[in-house]
């Protein structure tokens, strides 16, 4: 008989956002007349930039004609997109990358989930806490996380708490770990690391031979100077870091699906006999075997983001969301809350009232002011006592939500 | 230090089709004036059906407007597409499936490559030989294939030869295996199983508690009656089989990326303590964690295939390719070759002249008649002595290729 991968059976029954969806549906059934404002899931609401629409229409037309039709594309992505990425996202910041170091994908979630395949199942890992659930869940699936203890922590995972007490800046692990996930600007706390703070991590990785998976999905929201846009702005990072990017939030691609992963040629892991194995060709082999490239139409849409008009258009949308964030930060402060994030990220991290749990306050917001949020504990043990709100909503709804909260308090 | 997944190091250096591409490029550099005819890689050449083009234009326009914009879709795919699939591909053949048994993906290659994650790494596996390389390669990556011996066979893989001697109908394994991959209509041999022949496999799986991964990517090319379109046409298959489908060849989606996987609720694998674990919720959890849905635009394109116009349009294209196959079969026979397949599949499997190897004859075709093929041994040890040609080319090129072969012989 076929035996099941027993690690899957250790997983919590459902994904955080499905639990929230169930609660919201139950509320809607029992309160049909109520006008819900959704500030929970991190999905965008503004339409795609016009340049992307035009580029995708052109690409669709190419597919209608045998002369311009495109079949299988390169599993690694088309050169036209890779070259635009290198030029705009890296060369402009003094980072030199070659085309074969970039892998276009159908989104950062796929890459974040699959990248662990390159490593042995028994590497130790570290995560900042709270964190995007995919980092831990994808590692549970291959047995790397170990077993779950009664405090909701996995035995082979080192948790690096990010709380009000340390201003959401994680401390370096006390013992070494093989693998660490960092996400900056951070989901869910909305906080960032300065150049100096990120340098500590790269230095840690260099001296401990640790591999960093750097998730930069929210890079486009950075407003302040001295916040690195790429980990490769830090000297030495090319030896120890894989960087994952996404067009989902940058340009509204959550439903179109495109992202990319950077694996510099210098990044290696060790074999059991101590050889250094470059990870770039291994990821290439993985993608060539288990992936068949991203839709041509999508890649043409993504390419358009890098035109001067595209850059202007995405900036407008990002400004729209960041103005939402400003309104929410001020509204929440006025209502008496302690708020974090929302300056270089579309997420606002809110302290729940003393003595309450995340889920309790989530329920209260849902039932008393009809606002959907995300309970912080869903992102990890140190998220308990916090709540995430996103700035991706409609302006009027953000304003209305703040009004409701101020009246309610 | 991070340790690499040592199984990746066992992989052959490159994917079959990259090796071919290198040889072809070398030829082009040394023979710049020659007109190459490509009958090697299984990529389509006809444009997308007009209904798909129209549907995708409409979907792109929806993304341009905040009122109709779509962000994250369901990881499992949109209901509109799932319902069309159930109605046309299954209910019409008397197969009853529920929407939660269908998972839309970005293509059959992704699903075929990833499905093994649900099972323990040490399950034994069987494959028909020759076979689509992804089945073996994806299992090498997680250690399931074991080690490679000097005959090019993996220690934990049971090879079921399909050759002229057994009319390309694999025998049942002599000992039981936990997991078996079947692809019908077959890539690369182009042959099929009848209802009675496939029933033997389902019965084998039922009595041996074996899980079948049934790859039906070429289902749309079936012309003859008594060739099952779905494994679920066989009684009992819902307990033992996962079926994977693709729109790549059916509707020219190789560059657009869409397919789907069926996991009936009854399909289970065992846990070490003997419990039966349904695989459907496990795959759902996998997809929700490591995948974020297929492009909305792509899914609207795929939905259009199922309209009456869509069905008419894909039939025309399939007829075009199958007429290519007929021309090629007849031309090859006239040139004195033994040919198989090409009746219910877009692939023709050709016996190479006595005493030659697949690669030798591949080179000869490339250099002497300037035709690109795929050497059979690239698909497995029993593919030695054969060559695969595909019917996806332009009509004139297929005719010209046959003329060249007849003149050459």
Model pLDDT for residues B252-262, shown as the tens digit of each residue: 999 999 999 99
Model pLDDT for residues B52-102, shown as the tens digit of each residue: 999 999 999 999 999 999 999 999 999 999 999 999 999 999 999 999 999
- Residue B190's alpha-carbon distances to A121, B108, B131, B171, B344, in angstroms, are 39, 18, 11, 17, 7
- pLDDT score, position A340: 98
DSSP 8-state symbol, B130: S
What percentage of chain A reaches a pLDDT higher than 70?
Answer: 100
**A31 torsion bin: left (phi>0), alpha (psi -120 to 50), beta (else):** beta
Residue B18: list chain A partners with CB under 8 A.
288
Pairing of strands A268-270, A259-262: unpaired
Q: What is the mean pLDDT of residues A336-342?
A: 97
Model pLDDT for residues B285-298, shown as the tens digit of each residue: 999 999 999 999 99
Among all residues of chain B, which has the CA nearest to that of A392?
A: B71
* Contact yes or no for A272 and B53 at CB 8 A: no
CA distance B180 to B158: 9
Among all residues of chain B, which has the CA nearest to that of A118?
A: B5
- pLDDT score, position A291: 97
Write down the residue that tokens 């039939």 correspond to.
B315
Peptide bond into B28 cis (omega under 30): no
Q: Does domain A54-308 have CATH number 2.60.15.10?
A: no
In this predicted structure, the answer to whether residue A369 has a pLDDT above a threshold of 80 is yes
DSSP 8-state symbol, B86: I
* Contact yes or no for B179 and A210 at CB 8 A: no
CA distance A290 to B11: 14
- pLDDT score, position A16: 81
- pLDDT score, position B68: 98
Of the candidates B110, B255, B297, the beta carbon closest to that of A73 is on B255
* Contact yes or no for B73 and A255 at CB 8 A: yes
* Contact yes or no for B110 and A296 at CB 8 A: no
Q: Give which of B284, B311, B277, B364 is closest to B101, Cα–Cα.
A: B284
Q: What number is the ipTM of this complex?
A: 0.97
Beta bridge partners of B340: B349
Which CATH code fits B54-307? 3.40.640.10
CA distance A31 to B180: 50
Binding residues of B for pyridoxal 5'-phosphate: 72, 108-109, 132, 187, 218, 246-248, 257, 292
In this predicted structure, the answer to whether residue B343 has a pLDDT above a threshold of 90 is yes
Model pLDDT for residues A123-147, shown as the tens digit of each residue: 999 999 999 999 999 999 999 999 9
- Residue A27's alpha-carbon distances to A23, A39, A73, A394, A401, in angstroms, are 6, 15, 45, 21, 17
In this predicted structure, the answer to whether residue A13 has a pLDDT above a threshold of 80 is no
CA distance A9 to A4: 9
Q: B127 is written with which tokens?
A: 């494959």
Any idea which architecture B6-47+309-408 has in CATH? Alpha-Beta Complex (3.90)
Residue B50: list chain A partners with CB under 8 A.
64
Query: Is B342 an interface residue toward A (CB < 8 Å)?
Result: no
Three-state DSSP string of A124-160: CEEEEECCCHHHHHHHHCCCCCCCECCCCCECCEEEE
pLDDT class of B18 with cuts at 50, 70, 90 = confident
pLDDT class of A248 with cuts at 50, 70, 90 = very high
Alpha carbon of A297: minimum distance to chain B alpha carbons (Å): 7
CB A104 within 8 A of CB A323: no
- pLDDT score, position B133: 92
In this predicted structure, the answer to whether residue A203 has a pLDDT above a threshold of 90 is yes
CA distance A234 to A95: 10
Contacts from A86-93 at CB under 8 Å and sequence distance 24+?
A87/A306, A88/A306, A88/A311, A89/A229, A89/A230, A89/A245, A90/A230, A90/A232, A93/A229, A93/A230, A93/A233
Alpha carbon of B369: minimum distance to chain A alpha carbons (Å): 25
CB B114 within 8 A of CB A290: yes
Q: Which helix (H) or strand (E) holds A259?
A: strand A259-262
Model pLDDT for residues B34-52, shown as the tens digit of each residue: 999 999 988 999 999 999 9
Q: What is the mean pLDDT of residues A78-104?
A: 98
Q: Across all residues in chain B, what is the average pLDDT?
A: 96
- pLDDT score, position A59: 98
Model pLDDT for residues B368-392, shown as the tens digit of each residue: 999 999 999 999 999 999 999 999 9
CA distance A83 to A27: 48
- pLDDT score, position B409: 84
Q: Across all residues in chain A, what is the average pLDDT?
A: 96
Write down the residue that tokens 């597919």 correspond to.
A63
- pLDDT score, position B369: 97
Query: Is A138 an interface residue toward B (CB < 8 Å)?
Result: yes
- pLDDT score, position A21: 87
Residue B2: list chain A partners with CB under 8 A.
119, 123, 178-179, 209-211, 269-270
Model pLDDT for residues B165-222, shown as the tens digit of each residue: 999 999 999 999 999 999 999 999 999 999 999 999 999 999 999 999 999 999 999 9
In this predicted structure, the answer to whether residue B15 has a pLDDT above a threshold of 80 is no
Give the residue, A15 or B322, on which the prediction is more confident.
B322
pLDDT class of A9 with cuts at 50, 70, 90 = very high
Residue A256: list chain B partners with CB under 8 A.
63, 295-297
Model pLDDT for residues B75-84, shown as the tens digit of each residue: 999 999 999 9
- pLDDT score, position A262: 98
Compute φ and ψ for A266, nearest 5 degrees: -80, -15
- pLDDT score, position B19: 85
CA distance B294 to A295: 10
CB B40 within 8 A of CB B374: yes
* Contact yes or no for A5 and B119 at CB 8 A: yes
What percentage of chain B reaches a pLDDT higher than 90?
Answer: 95
DSSP 8-state symbol, A108: H
Among all residues of chain B, which has the CA nearest to that of A295?
A: B256
The answer to which of A38-47, A75-84, B183-192, B220-229 has the lowest mean pLDDT is A38-47
Residue A44: list chain B partners with CB under 8 A.
71
In this predicted structure, the answer to whether residue B12 has a pLDDT above a threshold of 90 is no
Query: Is B48 an interface residue toward A (CB < 8 Å)?
Result: yes
- pLDDT score, position B152: 85
Domain boundaries, chain A: 6-47+311-408, 54-308
- pLDDT score, position B41: 82
Query: Is A64 an interface residue toward B (CB < 8 Å)?
Result: yes
SS3 call for B222: coil
pLDDT class of A151 with cuts at 50, 70, 90 = confident
Query: Is B295 an interface residue toward A (CB < 8 Å)?
Result: yes
In this predicted structure, the answer to whether residue B249 has a pLDDT above a threshold of 80 is yes
Of the candidates B41, B117, B252, the beta carbon closest to that of A5 is on B117
pLDDT class of B106 with cuts at 50, 70, 90 = very high
CA distance A367 to A30: 10
Q: Which helix (H) or strand (E) holds A268?
A: strand A268-270
* Contact yes or no for B48 and A69 at CB 8 A: yes
Which CATH code fits A6-47+311-408? 3.90.1150.10
């Amino acid at each position: 008989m076929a035996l099941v991968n027993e690690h899957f059976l250790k997983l919590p029954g459902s994904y955080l956002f499905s639990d929230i969806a169930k609660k919201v549906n139950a509320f809607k059934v029992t309160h049909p007349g109520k006008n819900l404002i959704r500030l929970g899931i991190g999905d965008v609401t503004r339409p795609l930039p016009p340049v992307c629409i035009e580029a995708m229409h052109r690409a669709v037309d190419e597919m209608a004609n045998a002369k311009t039709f495109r079949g299988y594309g390169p599993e690694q992505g088309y050169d036209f997109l890779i070259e635009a990425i290198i030029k705009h996202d890296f060369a402009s910041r003094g980072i030199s990358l070659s085309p074969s170091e970039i892998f276009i994908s159908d989104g950062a979630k796929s890459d974040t989930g699959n990248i662990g395949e390159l490593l042995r199942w028994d590497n130790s890992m570290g995560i900042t806490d709270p964190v995007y659930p995919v980092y831990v869940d994808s590692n549970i699936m291959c047995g790397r996380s170990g077993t779950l203890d009664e405090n909701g922590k996995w035995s082979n995972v080192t948790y690096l708490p990010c709380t009000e007490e340390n201003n959401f800046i994680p401390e370096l692990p006390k013992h070494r770990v093989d693998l660490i996930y960092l996400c900056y600007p951070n989901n869910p706390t909305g906080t960032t690391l300065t150049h100096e703070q990120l340098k500590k991590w790269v230095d840690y990785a260099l001296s401990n031979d640790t591999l960093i998976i750097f998730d930069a999905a929210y890079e486009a929201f950075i407003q302040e100077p001295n916040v690195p846009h790429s980990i490769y702005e830090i000297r030495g990072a090319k030896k120890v870091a894989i960087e994952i990017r996404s067009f989902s939030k940058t340009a509204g691609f959550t439903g179109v699906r495109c992202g990319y992963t950077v694996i510099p040629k210098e990044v290696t892991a060790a074999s059991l006999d101590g050889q250094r194995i470059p990870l770039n060709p291994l990821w290439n082999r993985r993608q060539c075997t288990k992936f068949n490239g991203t839709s041509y139409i999508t890649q043409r849409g993504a390419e358009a983001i890098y035109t001067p008009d595209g850059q202007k258009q995405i900036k407008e949308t990002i400004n729209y969301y960041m103005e939402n964030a400003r309104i929410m930060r001020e509204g929440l402060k006025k209502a008496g809350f302690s708020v974090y994030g929302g300056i270089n990220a579309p997420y606002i991290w809110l302290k729940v009232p003393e003595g309450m749990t995340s889920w309790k306050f989530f329920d209260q917001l849902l039932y008393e002011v009809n606002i959907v949020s995300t309970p912080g504990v869903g992102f990890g043990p140190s998220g308990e006592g916090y709540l995430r709100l996103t700035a991706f909503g409609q302006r009027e709804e953000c304003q209305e939500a703040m009004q409701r909260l101020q009246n309610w308090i």
